[in-house]
Structure 1
Amino acid sequence: MKKIILLFSPFILGSIALKAQSLETAHHLYYHERYNSAENEYHSILNQQPEKPEAWLGLTMSYLAEAMPIKAYDTLLKAPSTIREEPLYQVALGSALLFQDKKTEASQLFNAALKETKEKDETVLGSIAQSYIEYKTGDANYAISLLTKAIKRDKHNPAWKVLLGDAYRKLNNGTEAYKAYKEALDEDENYAAADYKIGEIFLTQKNPELYLEYFNKALAADPEYAPALYQLYVYNFYHDVPKAFQLYNQYLTKSDPSIRTQYDLTDLLYLNKEYDKAIQKANDLIAKHGTDLEPRIYKLLAYSYVETKDSSKALDYMKQYFEKEEDSNLIAKDFELMAGLYANTTDKKDSAIVFIQKAAGLMKDSTALFNYYKKLAGIAKGNKDYASEAKWMEKYYTGNDKATNVDLFNWGLANYLAQDFQMADSVFGMYVAKYPEQSFGYYWQARSNASLDKDMKEGLAIPVYKKLIEVLQSDTTNSNYKKWMVEAYAYLAAYEANTQKDYNEAVDYFEKVLEVDPDNADAKRYIAILEKNNSTEGSK
């Protein structure tokens, strides 16, 4: 068998000088993730040299990089029969089958290639390892064993060590992955892929200082290395929109046209607050790609229409987004937006509640979760559903260190309006314990107890009204002073007259009402009645 000297991997290929200039160009394009251009170049080669197995492998891996295993397989079936037993062709066909989840058939082809080369061909070893690394459930440990053999035969090729790092990353072993990438750089300090891969490690660790450093190193080593440029664009997308636009335009010149770049432009237009342009671009994408479009474009349209104050269109596009997107991809913010849009629709308040409840169910961040509870309470209040308002205010207040006295008060008041006077008493009891100098808690606790004891038999509200009077007397400038003092004294007078039958005490309390409100006609009338009763009782 003729020895294959081509080293195939997305990073290997970019660094190999080959005699065939067109094949080198194809590998270079693949290395820089310009897969469509690479496919065209490989096809051009195969049209002239159909018996070139390394070109069939390159074409296959290009298709797989774009998630087109069926197309890769169908194309491989067009290869001349004379190369069907070539190890690299077998690796290509095995890879196409593996990515269609046909593991047994793939393994048979891989084993045939390994047997034919006696496991001494680094290209066959590395290419099989690459497929297992990139396949979603591939055996990374087996890939490591193959790469170890490849490295023994080709010790100074940084590409194998980058692939070895990828295998370790698949096993979530960042330490060994980092070590392998560093060893690749020891072999070639300008090997951009190694710097880029180290950057990805720090990206997963959310360490921007380091991942930006390594992405920039990759770009400095190879200004054409588009993957690093794209990551820098993504970072600036959230931090510096003008710079993101600049990086995006650079990326366009160094990458193949793709729908992803069109998505990115639409995102940038939205982020730059060019909402009309974002809407136009999104609609162009829908017209061109139809059902193949990512559902998130419908969400972007919805957000754009929210910004242009067209809530009707925003709701329509969010409905389409929910219809098209997988449930597992929906996030809390999606439900929150739907809730907000329904809340602005007169006859859809119930739908708003359903969606905000779903948002709360998905939210893990406690601060955001509390905000959802507050919104639910607000919607319930708007619907005059005070029992629900009380339920959500309890959730909002409990364990929330940012909740205020107003929130505690509103929780209590919602219970009162829902006629859950027992709970209202408890909440206002919490209020007076926490804010003993404020009159609000005492007043509403007194009213709650009065509602629990409507015939005044138990006198539940008496001690609270007395405490209210005490607190109010300490600040006669209180805007509620006169109204609440009159109510408190009148309630005490009624209790003395109706329950205790102590008419003299009742008169005393009504006279206190007149001290606060000299023109109070009710107090004067009741005093006259009580004094008459006292006179009648005394004459008996």
Structure 2
Amino acid sequence: MIKHTVRLIVASALLCNVAFAQSVDDGKKFYYYEKYVSAKDALEKAVAAKPDDVEAVYWLGQTLIEMRDTAGAKAVFQKALQAKGSDPLLLVGIGQVELMEKKTNEARQRFETAISLTKGKDIGILNAVGHANAATAEGDAKYAIEKLTLATQVKRFKEADVYINLGDAQRRLMDGGAAVTAYQNAFGLDPKLAEAKYKVGKIYVTQGPDQANIFLKNFEEAVTIDPAYAPAYYDMYSYWYSRDVNKARDYFAKYKANTDFTPSVEAEEISLVYASGDFKGAIAKADEKLQKDGDKADVKLYRTKAYAYDKLGDSVNALQNMETFLAKASPDIILPDNYVKMAEISAKFPDKVAQADEYFNKVISMDTVVANKVNYAKAASDMYKKLNDRGKSAEWLTKILTYKPDYGKTELFYAGFENFYGEKYVTADSIATLYKTKYPDDVQGYYLAFRSKWSADTAALSSGIPSVEPVEDAKKLIELAETDKQKYKQSLLVAYGFMAGYYANNLKDYPAAVTYLDKILEVDPGNADAQANKEVLQKAINKPQQKSTAPAAKKTAGAK
């Protein structure tokens, strides 16, 4: 009887150990799939069953960090350290929390102690140190790379997760090529690791929508490898959200089926109502959820309401909800487009127009991709143009020349002429100089320079007597444009008119002036102003003794 009892006790203990192991493994699995609510539940049970299990404590702390509960993670690690002393993995965990608290020196000491205790040969500890530094804004990416590289050199190394963290650290250093290589190495070690394909895709996302074919391909490969990998579904949903709401809805349904149903997921579901064009319905559903959940409601509901009110033309409520969203949301929830939208809404209020620039500057400073910076600047320019503020519109197009050092004709053309129409003639002429220097055989640079110099001379404009400054640019413009008179007809009419006035009124050289009037009539035979001015000057030519008192030539059609 005693033997049977002992056997039952042993069997029971074994079953408990198996159940415990399953609980920890389940928690880690949920963590991998970013199902943090489920991970927390499984790991809390594991820690409750076996409080001294370091692995369970570590992963519970990691889960709480991902749930933005830094205080909870700190409490978990501190409690375990009190019971276990200087366990290396717990030291790394509390060190990560200290990084988040900006206690970088203390954190580094924890990491070094953990590595020293394991003689620098424990892959798990080196990987945890690398993760802490790669995943935390205050972490040292170079230090992470150093320790993760060391882990790959340990005998019998085969942990794909080390390469995932190494790729994350390389991303922190903006080394996309090295990051892709690291993720590919992870996939080489574990061909079932959907995360590796997903993270390669994320690299290309940062390079802008032009890389959509590449990052979407990697996301699709990730869910083909592992149909339960929810993060890839979410990114595909996000991509199609503003492009094809039906595709977005399909990907969201797959995401929802493979993740925890949280207030955040419910908020995304409501935002799809907005994306479908039902703006009033989106507001109603968001309000219902906000009223039901109160302070626990997801802050993204305010964003949805703001966008919906903006579509309905209610700028007051749009501004109020957008301000609430930006005040309550954590930085990782705020999208670049949110700052653009806030700028556009703010610009509708005279006392908040200045804030619009602040929001555009903020989103541009956040982004490292040149193409994105250019697009934000264009959005700012378009916004000010709609407000009939061509000067501010010009400022933003001019900034593009700074954001994009390899600017071309298109950027120079739009920046230059927007400054011209915004009556910023000096800046326009400066841009024209850049244009002429880079493209000396292009008509547009000389046309911009000629028009800018002419318009900048207010005295000449008021007197009707052109100044000498635009002459050289006008001559060069004519030389280049006369190779295709039909293509550049309007530019030639303006330049011919200016030169006719210059020769008639400044130099009193009426025959030369008539030559330019004849050029006008050649490309525009019905130009009555040119014909009338030619007749006036011809009479003056035929009466040389009255040359000094001849009337000034009138402006011809096409002249400013």
Q: TM-score, normalised by structure 2?
A: 0.66
- 1:373 matched residue in structure 2: 416
Post-superposition Cα deviations, 1:7-36, rounded to whole Å, max 9, x if no partner, equal xxxxxxxxxx98533322221121112335
Deviation at 1:186, TM superposition (A): 4.4
The 1-side partners of 2:66 and 2:473 are apart by 61
Deviation at 1:339, TM superposition (A): 5.6
AA aligned to 1:478 is P
- 2:115 matched residue in structure 1: 114
Deviation at 1:424, TM superposition (A): 3.7
**Correspondent of 1:193 among 192, 195, 212:** 195
Deviation at 1:242, TM superposition (A): 2.7
- The answer to whether the Cα contact below 8 Å between 2:447 and 2:474 also exists between their aligned partners in 1 is no
Deviation at 1:172, TM superposition (A): 6.6
The 1-side partners of 2:428 and 2:149 are apart by 62
The 2-side partners of 1:389 and 1:113 are apart by 59
1:478 has 2:525 as partner: yes
- The answer to whether the Cα contact below 8 Å between 2:343 and 2:360 also exists between their aligned partners in 1 is no
AA aligned to 2:504 is A
- 2:95 matched residue in structure 1: 94
Deviation at 1:343, TM superposition (A): 5.5
The 1-side partners of 2:92 and 2:252 are apart by 36
Q: 1:359 to 1:146 in 2, by over 3 A?
A: same
Deviation at 1:147, TM superposition (A): 1.6
- 1:528 matched residue in structure 2: none
**Correspondent of 1:158 among 160, 165, 169:** 160
1:465 has 2:503 as partner: no
Deviation at 1:445, TM superposition (A): 0.9
1:280 has 2:327 as partner: no
Deviation at 1:72, TM superposition (A): 3.0
Structure 1 range deviating more: 89-98 or 75-84:
75-84
- The answer to whether the Cα contact below 8 Å between 1:97 and 1:103 also exists between their aligned partners in 2 is yes
SS in 1 for 2:51: coil
Post-superposition Cα deviations, 1:51-97, rounded to whole Å, max 9, x if no partner, equal 33222211322344456655533443344721233332222112222
Q: 1:360 to 1:412 in 2, by over 3 A?
A: closer
- 2:222 matched residue in structure 1: 218
**Correspondent of 1:361 among 381, 396, 399:** 399
The 1-side partners of 2:529 and 2:381 are apart by 40
The 1-side partners of 2:185 and 2:481 are apart by 65
AA aligned to 1:446 is A
Please show how residues 80-479 of structure 1 align to structure 2 within 5 Å. 81-135=82-136, 136-138=139-141, 139-148=143-152, 152-153=155-156, 155-166=157-168, 181-201=183-203, 203=205, 207-237=211-241, 240-256=244-260, 277=282, 280=305, 282=307, 286=322, 289=325, 291-293=327-329, 294=334, 297=338, 299-300=340-341, 312=348, 322=357, 327=362, 328-329=365-366, 349=389, 353-354=391-392, 356-362=394-400, 363-364=403-404, 365-366=407-408, 367-380=410-423, 387=425, 391=429, 394=432, 398=436, 403=444, 414=455, 419=460, 421-436=467-482, 440=493, 441-451=495-505, 453=506, 458-459=507-508, 461-468=509-516, 470-471=518-519, 478-479=525-526
- The answer to whether the Cα contact below 8 Å between 2:377 and 2:397 also exists between their aligned partners in 1 is yes
- The answer to whether the Cα contact below 8 Å between 1:37 and 1:256 also exists between their aligned partners in 2 is yes
The 2-side partners of 1:484 and 1:179 are apart by 69
Structure 1 alignment gaps of length 5 or more: 1-16, 508-540
Deviation at 1:317, TM superposition (A): 7.2
Post-superposition Cα deviations, 1:410-432, rounded to whole Å, max 9, x if no partner, equal 55763676625213433432343
The 1-side partners of 2:522 and 2:393 are apart by 47
- 1:534 matched residue in structure 2: none
- The answer to whether the Cα contact below 8 Å between 1:168 and 1:174 also exists between their aligned partners in 2 is yes
AA aligned to 1:501 is Q
Identity of matched residues, %: 21
Deviation at 1:177, TM superposition (A): 5.3
- 1:501 matched residue in structure 2: 545
1:21 has 2:26 as partner: no
The 2-side partners of 1:179 and 1:84 are apart by 38
- The answer to whether the Cα contact below 8 Å between 2:99 and 2:107 also exists between their aligned partners in 1 is yes
The 2-side partners of 1:449 and 1:36 are apart by 82
Q: 1:285 to 1:129 in 2, by over 3 A?
A: same
Post-superposition Cα deviations, 1:377-401, rounded to whole Å, max 9, x if no partner, equal 2233xxxx8x569748846974675
- The answer to whether the Cα contact below 8 Å between 1:397 and 1:407 also exists between their aligned partners in 2 is no
Deviation at 1:467, TM superposition (A): 0.9
The 1-side partners of 2:177 and 2:325 are apart by 42
Deviation at 1:137, TM superposition (A): 1.9
The 1-side partners of 2:92 and 2:259 are apart by 27
Deviation at 1:141, TM superposition (A): 3.8
- The answer to whether the Cα contact below 8 Å between 1:233 and 1:248 also exists between their aligned partners in 2 is yes
The 2-side partners of 1:338 and 1:177 are apart by 33
AA aligned to 2:250 is Q
AA aligned to 1:144 is L
- 2:285 matched residue in structure 1: none
The 1-side partners of 2:471 and 2:361 are apart by 46
The 2-side partners of 1:299 and 1:372 are apart by 20
- Number of matched residues? 464
- The answer to whether the Cα contact below 8 Å between 1:195 and 1:215 also exists between their aligned partners in 2 is yes
SS in 1 for 2:525: coil
- 2:311 matched residue in structure 1: none
The 2-side partners of 1:248 and 1:124 are apart by 36
Deviation at 1:207, TM superposition (A): 4.9
SS in 1 for 2:192: coil
SS in 1 for 2:348: helix
Q: TM-score, normalised by structure 1?
A: 0.68
- 2:39 matched residue in structure 1: 38
